[in-house]
Amino acid sequence: MQKRIIFLFVILTLMILLVPTLLVTTFSESTDSVAQVEAKEAVQKKKTTIIPSDEKMPPVRVYLTKEKRVLEVPLEEYITGVVASEMPADFHEEALKAQALAARTYIVKRLTKKEFTDLARWGTIAKTAHVTDTVQHQVFSTEQQLRSRWGIQYDEKQKRIESAVQATKGNIIVYQGEPIYAAFFSTSNGRTENSEDYFLTNYPYLRSVDSSWDQQSPKYDKEQVLTMHQFTQLLAKETGKSIAIPTAASPGQWMRVIEKTAGNRILKIRIGDEIFSGREVREALHLASSDFSWQVKGNEMIFTTRGYGHGVGMSQWGAHLMAKQGKEVLDIIQHYYQGVKVKPISAVQGDKK
pLDDT above 90 as % of the chain: 73
pLDDT > 70 in the chain, percent: 81
Split at pLDDT 50, 70, 90, the class of 48 is very low
pLDDT band at 55 (very low <50, low <70, confident <90, very high): low
Q: 259: which strand partners?
A: 268
Q: For strand 274-277 and strand 292-297, is the pairing parallel, antiparallel, or unpaired?
A: unpaired
pLDDT averaged over every residue in the chain: 85
Report residue 14's pLDDT band, with 50, 70 and 90 as the boundaries. Answer: very low
Confidence of residue 249 (pLDDT cuts 50, 70, 90): low
- Summarize the confidence of residues 57-62 as an average pLDDT: 92
Q: The whole model's pTM is what?
A: 0.81
User: 314 Cβ partners below 8 Å, 6+ apart?
Assistant: 98, 99, 102, 182, 183, 184, 185, 192, 332, 333, 336, 337
The answer to whether the Cα torsion of 308, 314, 317, 318 is positive or negative is: positive
Res 206 pLDDT > 60: yes
Residue 87 corresponds to which amino acid?
Answer: M
| 88-130 residue pLDDT tens | 999 999 999 999 999 999 999 999 899 899 999 999 999 999 9
- CB–CB of 53/44 below 8 Å? no
Domain range list for the chain:
60-216+311-350, 227-306
Q: How far does CA 36 lie from the centroid of its chain?
A: 38
- Report pLDDT digits (tens) over 166-180: 999 999 999 999 999
Question: What is the C-alpha to C-alpha distance for residues 325 and 213, in angstroms, rounded to an integer?
Answer: 10
Confidence of residue 350 (pLDDT cuts 50, 70, 90): very low
Is residue 316 within 8 Å of residue 275, measured between CB atoms?
no
Q: What is the pLDDT of residues 68-85, one digit of tens each?
A: 999 999 999 999 999 999
17-30 pLDDT, tens per residue? 444 443 333 333 33
- For the chain, list the strands marked E by DSSP: 60-64, 69-73, 131-132, 171-175, 178-179, 184-185, 221-227, 255-260, 266-271, 274-277, 292-297, 300-306, 314-315, 341-344
**pLDDT attached to residue 36:** 39
Reference 190, options 211, 221, 217; nearest CA is: 211
| Cα–Cα distance, 160 to 74 (Å, whole number) | 19
**DSSP letters for 94-117:** HHHHHHHHHHHHHHHHHHHHT--G
In this predicted structure, what is the pLDDT of residue 51?
37
In this structure, the chain runs to a length of 353
